[in-house]
Structure 1
Amino acid sequence: MGKIKKSKPNKNKKVLNHDNSDEDEQLCVDTKENAVQTVLDQLQAANVEEKYCGLQTLALLIETSEHLDQVITQGVVKVAAPLLMDAAGSVRNAASGTLRNMSALRMEVCDAMMEQDIMTPLKCYFQEYAQTWTPDVTSKFKDEDIDTFINCTNLLLNLCESSELAIKYLEQYKILDVFPRYLDIGVFGSDTVAAVLQCLFVAIEDNPQAMQRVKNNSEKQLEQLLSMEGSDPSILLIKTLAAGVVINTCGGIITTLPVNFMNEIISILAKTLSMDHRLACNHVSSNVPLINGAGKLETLKGKEAQILDSQLKSVSQMLDAQQRAIEIIANICSCEDSDDSLNGGDSSDSEELEGDMIDNGEESLLVEDKLPPEIMEAFVSLKIFEKISARAQLPAQNVMLILKEYEGSQLVYKKLQTLQTRALLCINNIISTLPIEGLGGVNGVYKIWVDAGKLVFQQNSDNFSLIESATAVMRAALDKIKLRENGNTSECNLFGDMALSDIEVMLIGIRECQMPEIRSNLLRMIGMLALLFVNNLNETTTDVICKITEFILEQAHKENEVWVLAEALDTLIDLYSEDETDEIAAKVKLVDKLTVLAPIIKNKARQQKRLPKEYKVLVSTVVSNLPRFIKYKKGRISCL
């Protein structure tokens, strides 16, 4: 699984002043342009209070999309970023928090920040302030300085996740040489160490020079972090991140590590994933203040507030650790998958790879044999798949509602949603990697398909990332069943209770889907479902196949994205390549309808040339194969 852009929460809220009603009224009166211009004037003032006030107002403005657009248009970042080097620590702290929050909003914002030269003052901060700074335990500004460093590190992380140029700057200005000293948890504390590890984890991926530099400068510190004792979420977060950095220093190939070291790392990931996130969230929700009779949330004070804040931080660290563990495992699987010697290429080539088996010149190799046996053994013995599946389960609905309503726990609510999505994406990777026995057998994979289907078709969710990952799981699960059973599901009777009404629910969901990635997954998935019925033909299954075929043909005529159209047609080619489908093909007039679609996809392919490489390959293959398939099937039908 490649790196996925994560929605990052705005953590640094303390620079905001939401109780300033006069300021709120002023923002309502001023136009967007005037409000932003006022901020620009304040940021350029000589007075510390003016600059601090300008940063407070800027932090408030970027929470509104309209003001955010204006902030970007008027080049506010170019003026605010140099305040990271301001002589006043309070200004540096406010600037770092505001810019960090801004970088967490969306990738396009990070691009704009790069264009407005955010990296120059940021690298100056690390070179001038961070190279020699050590927290002074006697200073009243200790927490502020630590917070500023963490904010700047997370700002850098967000930029690196969005921009390859930021990673080049990171290496060019030798910021990676600054980070190793911050891996001393005894001096800098767990929050600082975790922030540095997060940044390293992202910055060195697919970056050989950075990998070697971190390996040379930080190897001993990383080993010490991995050997830390304790099961507190803060400790497990650091150990998990350290494990991820170590793997990335090896180019993502964990098997290059000594076997005992590799097993230690996988054990750390397993321990992190063993924490019961649902139980922890249930516990913390019982302490979250609820809405009173007047419709307002009660405010906790004193010791109660401190206890709740500590619990929320602990749960947040747990969720962060589990998310990273899941991403590391997904990358371990997909890293092996990227090996060209084992990769069957795009889906359209699968017809030439009988049963998804790859000929290496000597013997055929199952796709599920890609992982080295030592990793496979560790995954199975430590029940990695079961642990990841458990992380795909959200707490009870009432718990989620409590966490969503209270401002202090909204971050946990968002992280739970992200964790679920990441877990599903990882399951998608693992399904093709583990042998089916490690997934609970055919019935276990069928259950995975059903559970993912409930997320897709039984929830009115606007979380498109979740739906996309769940549809990918559905597609992978059916592909696994098809591979194992060779389409013959009669013995295990998996789909015996499925009726046309069940199919109709899926078709309605696809018809209403606005996201091309999700439509593509669903079209391929229902095509696989139809293919599983081909070897078990009877009146009911024939009706299902006809219904699915007619639907895919209908959608093909409506589809605007050429690569989704290609996916739909490729699905039909796979389905009707079986000779047993000749009579059904004649019944639905498949050849005539595909003949109409052939010039349509050809024209769309000419019009939509700017496509990612994998989409181009798919479209090109379908455009080439479709006429040959029509000729072949026409000949078969004529013999009926």
Structure 2
Amino acid sequence: MGKSKNKKFKSPRFSAEGLPASAVKDVEDEEEVDSPAGELLEKLQSPCPDVREYACASISRMVQQSQAIPAFLQRDAVRCLGPLLLDRSLAVRETAAGALRNLSACGGFEVCEYMVKQDILTPLTALLIECCTGFDSGSGLSPKSQKDQKNPKNPVEDVANEAVNLLWNLCESCNRALLVFNKAGLLDMLIRCLERHPHNIELALSAAHCLHTVTEDNTELLGSLNTPVLSGLESVLLSSQPGMAHMLLRTLAAGSMWNMKSCLPSDRQAQTLSALVATLSQSLELDSGTLIPELREAEAARSTAVSSGVEMAERPAGDMEAEEMEEEGGVGMKNGKTTNRDDDISDLLPTGKEELREAAALLAAQQTSLEIIVNMCCSDDPSDDEWEEMSSSDESEMCPDGISEGNSSLLSPLCLSAEVHSALLNHSIPEKVLKKTEFPSSAAIEVCAKSPAWKGLIKKMQRVQCRALTCLHNILSAMELESLGGAPALQALAEHLSKLVFSKPEIPKQEEFLEAVTSAVRSLLQIMASKNIPQCMSAQQLMRLSEAATRCDTISVRVNALAILGITGSTLAREEGTADSLQMIGNALLQVASKDHNMVVCGEALDALFDVFADGKEAEKAAKNIHLLPSLKALQPVFKAKLRKECKGKYSPDQLCVLDNIKINLRRFIGYLETLE
């Protein structure tokens, strides 16, 4: 039976749809120097700081259109903007960093690589060092806060926020940027920015996001960690400021601490782990289905209160422009800056959208919490990412007749440390994760659907559900049955998943949901089959789910669907009067094994066939009825030829190893069927 590999989340990459840097070469040279790009880049050299600031802001807006990016890159925009990061004017520094931030976010991974090759990290590093030096000595008000004397802000922090976001984009897109980050000692700069959280949550959140990214699988960085870094993170983790933004900040700090777990002093590990899991628990306790309608109602009440026009007249023009743009279905903006990183606009909403910020931060905190728990319940096997759903048939697992038995060792839990296991159970993490697997609240979806500005939260709520289902998959793989509540708890869980999938006339078609729910169903069915626990989902229902999943373009979804059929069939084969159901399952598996274009999927279908028809009179009867032996004989040379001709260079070594084992098993299984004849 196929392994159910537990998932591992890496820091989310922004989904850049912009043009790659190589597209610069394809731009025709017809544009003259007086083109919009050329004119703006010339203005960057103006002796007047206002003109330089205007040019930077204009570039910031223009590069949000991917088709405009090659024109700027062709004219060496990165090298033109780089020196302005150290301009005499703080306003120019901020807008220059904002323009580069947008270029990195909207241009894609190759543009980020290009920017690093253009040595943008040298002035960016110098800027961050200067900013951190100026946090305590900065004077005066930033342009944005001059109208709000009650809330003065150090203008250096505005510059630092743009710089940190640019650094974040580069480090999550480019390994070379990470190497520079490690050597330049920028970790200390991020901690300094993080420590501004009591009065500048926006800057602290940017630093926390960046820190969460750069500490992941970064052995060189972890080797240089010092006590001030760990203490700075711990102080954030143990902070207690109210509000969803601070909850998100603590959650990101928890994620960074988990990334650094190998570096924690032994005498602080237990305390830190407890604080970390407590933070995740607090985030998951919050009910977005109740809080989001309340926040939307609060926003509406505040809008009504200011509708007299007095406050509206004093409202900054930038806020009104951003709101008008949102009403037209655009992306939230702030000072001309935007990003498409995972559709996250929480740090780009205009002032006056506090409730929407809170709602976005709430969902981001819960999604991040679930991803951290996924990783806590994940093995460190490097092959996890190579083959998410590897077939398990192996010569070492063969019975005397050459047929692979159900691989019970794969169903045993991973070796969670006692401390992690206890912490997760003490904070009722499995129960809280299960609660988050429910469909988003209809009330929350309804209020968000009525407002263009809030509509984007619907997708975020759905993503939280998907992350919870993936988290459930890993928890099932990593924890003992007794810890989860025994057989009754698993039966209740099977009923819950059944309602999620089968409560509507059609199986939900969203790929993200299908991947998460099929992973959870697969893990649950494996455990229940290994323990002989009856479950409520019928073979017909599981066939419906598998049929919907095998039509999905995502390979892991198709693999999960086939594994579910294999588990179901091998269970039915031990029961009487199930030949008809086995025929239905066998025909479906044969269809995929012979026609799917992906060898991983074909291999999983064959692996499932071996499980279903390995033993039992009902299986023998069904195998004859669907002509299994001649079908596999016809398929064998085709599978071998594809494996020999098509797979090299297309699949990883781990995948090729598994496929080779399946080829051997296919030969042996055909021999087994021939003995039955």
TM interval, short-chain normalised: 0.7 to 0.9
Q: 2:240 & 2:75 partners in 1: Cα distance?
A: 50
Query: Is the aligned partner of 1:445 residue 2:487?
Result: no
Q: Which amino acid aligns with 1:119?
A: L
Name 1:294's counterpart in structure 2: none
Distance 1:210 1:413, change over 3 A: same
Contact 2:33–2:39, Cα closer than 8 Å, also in 1: no
Residue correspondence of structure 1 range 76-225 to structure 2 within 5 A: 76-77=77-78, 79-105=80-106, 107=109, 109-134=111-136, 136=138, 138-141=140-143, 142=153, 145-185=156-196, 189-225=200-236
Q: What are the within-5 Å matches in structure 2 for residues 291-306 of structure 1? A: 301=312
- The reply on whether 1:627 has 2:667 as its aligned counterpart is yes
Instruction: Indicate the residue corresponding to 1:585 in structure 2.
Output: 623
Tell me whether 1:321 sits opposite 2:365 in the alignment: yes
2:37 to 25, 32, 39: 39
Query: In the superposition, relative to structure 1, how do residues 592 and 459 fare at CA in structure 2: closer, same or farther (>3 Å)?
Result: closer
**Pair 73,442 (structure 1): closer, same or farther in 2 beyond 3 Å:** farther
Aligned to 1:517: 556
Structure 1 residues 110 and 546: CA distance shift in structure 2, 3 A: farther
Q: Residue 378 of structure 2: SS of its match in structure 1? A: helix
> Quick one: distance in 1 between partners of 2:268 and 2:575?
47
Kindly state the Cα deviation for residue 473 of structure 1 after the two structures are TM-superposed: 1.9
CA contact (8 A) 1:32 1:70 kept: no
What pairs with 1:2-17 in structure 2 (closer than 5 Å)?
2-4=8-10, 6=12, 8=14
Matches within 5 A, 1:259-298: 259-286=270-297
Q: Is the 8 A contact 1:428 1:476 kept in 2?
A: yes
Q: CA deviation at 1:617?
A: 2.9
Give 1:226's aligned amino acid. Answer: L
Give me the TM-score of the superposition, normalised by structure 1: 0.80
Percent sequence identity is 23
Aligned partners of 1:39 and 1:55 also within 8 Å = no
How far does residue 461 in structure 1 lie from its aligned partner after superposition? 4.7
One of 360, 377, 382 as aligned partner of 1:333: 377
**Residue 477 in 1 paired to residue 519 in 2?**
no
- CA–CA distance in 2 between the matches of 1:334 and 1:261? 19
Q: Which secondary structure state, in structure 2, belongs to the residue aligned with residue 206 of structure 1?
A: coil
Aligned equivalents of 2:194, 2:464: Cα separation in 1 = 26
Distance 1:379 1:9, change over 3 A: same
TM-superposed deviation, 1:217 = 3.3
- The residue aligned with 2:422 is 377
Amino acid at match of 1:88: S
Corresponding letter in the other structure for 1:576:
F
Q: Secondary structure at 1:513's aligned position in 2?
A: coil
Amino acid paired to 2:556: E
Note if contact 1:285-1:399 (Cα within 8 Å) is conserved in structure 2: no
Pick from 465, 468, 488 the counterpart of residue 512 of structure 2: 465
Two-structure CA RMSD over aligned residues (Å)? 4.0
1:535 aligned counterpart, secondary structure = coil
Which has a greater percent of helix? 1
Contact 1:400 1:413 in 2 (8 A): yes
1:293-316: per-residue Cα shift (whole Å, max 9, x none)? xxxxxxx95899999611122222
2:580 corresponds to 1:543: yes
Say whether residues 1:561 and 2:606 are aligned partners: no
Q: Which residue does 1:237 correspond to in 2?
A: 248
Letter matched to residue 592 of structure 1: P
The alpha-carbon distance between structure 1 residues 634 and 65, as it changes in their structure 2 partners (threshold 3 A), is farther
The C-alpha deviation readout for 1:193-232, integer Å capped at 9, x for no partner, is 2322222222122223312433433122223223223553
Matched letter for residue 458 of structure 1 = E
- What is the rounded CA distance, in whole Å, between the counterparts of 1:174 and 1:260 in structure 2? 28
Segments of 5+ residues of structure 2 without an aligned counterpart are 1-6, 17-27, 144-152, 302-310, 320-349, 399-403
**Residue type of the partner of 1:468?**
E
Find out whether 1:494 has 2:542 as its counterpart: no
Secondary structure in 2 matching 1:286: helix
Q: Is the 8 A contact 1:436 1:445 kept in 2?
A: no
* Structure 1 residue 169 displacement after superposition: 1.3
- After superposition, the Cα gap between the structure-2 partners of 1:170 and 1:443, relative to the gap in structure 1 and judged at 3 Å, is same
Per-residue deviation, residues 527-581 of structure 1 (Å, max 9, x unmatched): 222223222232xx32222112112211222211222221222222222223442
For 1:32 and 1:559, how far apart are their aligned partners in 2? Answer: 47
- 2:528 maps to a residue whose letter is I
Deviates more, 1:365-374 or 1:347-356: 347-356
Aligned residue identity for 2:421: M
Matches within 5 A, 1:499-510: 500=540, 502=541, 505-510=544-549
TM-fit CA distance, 1:183: 3.3
Specify the SS of the correspondent of 2:225. Answer: helix
User: Is 2:260 aligned against 1:249?
Assistant: yes
Q: 1:8 deviation in Å?
A: 4.8
Cα 1:457/1:43, change in 2 over 3 Å = farther
Contact 1:456-1:467 at 8 Å conserved across structures: no
Q: Decide whether aligned partners of structure 1 residues 117 and 437 sit closer, same or farther in structure 2, where only a CA change above 3 A counts.
A: same
Deviation at 1:254, TM superposition (A): 11
1:519 to partner: Cα distance: 1.8
Structure 1's 613 and 220: CA in aligned 2 closer, same or farther, altered over 3 A? Answer: same
Does structure 2 conserve the Cα–Cα contact (< 8 Å) formed by 1:443 and 1:494?
A: yes
Which one scores higher on RCO, CA 8 angstroms, separation ≥ 6? 2
Identify if the C-alpha distance between structure 1 residues 287 and 234 changes in structure 2 by more than 3 Å, giving closer, same or farther: closer
CA distance in 2: counterparts of 1:366 and 1:625, whole angstroms: 21
Distance of 1:586 and 1:555 partners within structure 2: 19
Long gaps (5+) in structure 1:
11-29, 291-299, 359-364
Does the Cα contact within 8 Å between 1:319 and 1:416 map onto a contact in 2? yes
